Structure 1
Amino acid sequence: MMRIKRNDEVVVIAGKDKGKTGRVVNVYPKRDKVMVEGVNIATRHRQVSMSNRGAREGGIEHVEMPIQASNVMPICPECNEPTRVGSTWVDGVKYRLCRKCESEFE
């Protein structure tokens, strides 16, 4: 089970972008990866190519790439600090909890 969900605010705790924060755009649970806005930017060189509707522009473009889920830590909306995530059952519904202040995540 991934404890990080789409639209969570996270901080990168390891790798070349350590210390950066951003919002989770996509989650890939089978690959155990997440895509975070403004983190893990890769440079791609695109060749000019022809299609039915005309030429596609080439050049250098910067794209976001997925990052390992273990390298990010969610930021608690209540205490605004990076925290581990716990879980609890309340009336048959599972909730995520901040391990520091015990408040619920959305």
Structure 2
Amino acid sequence: MKPQNVFEGIRTDLSNEVFEPLEDNGKVLIERIISKGHVTPEGQWYDQDRSEWVMVLQGEAKLVFEHAKVVHLKKGDYITIPAHCKHRVSWTADHPETLWIAVHY
């Protein structure tokens, strides 16, 4: 086994948001997400079958929930989003890019 570092190997082309699975056993998915000013398209909502725990390791982001509640996540902040809790990303920092860890379970 060789350790890996979540801050290494970040792509330089971030014209599209990047979703990279770090582990996936079919029950739990851990992914690294890299956003650089990316947002969820207007009118689109995430409505996931699994709960999601998400943490911002670098940068900042704002999540909007279906009933207009806005949550501003800064470096080190995390939140649990229950399954089928509709939400969207309304803003992400572009400098430095926003680096997230998401755990879907």
TM-score by length of structure 1 reads 0.24
Q: Which structure exhibits the higher relative contact order, with contacts defined as CA atoms closer than 8 Å and separated by 6 or more residues?
A: 2
Structure with the greater alpha carbon radius of gyration: 1
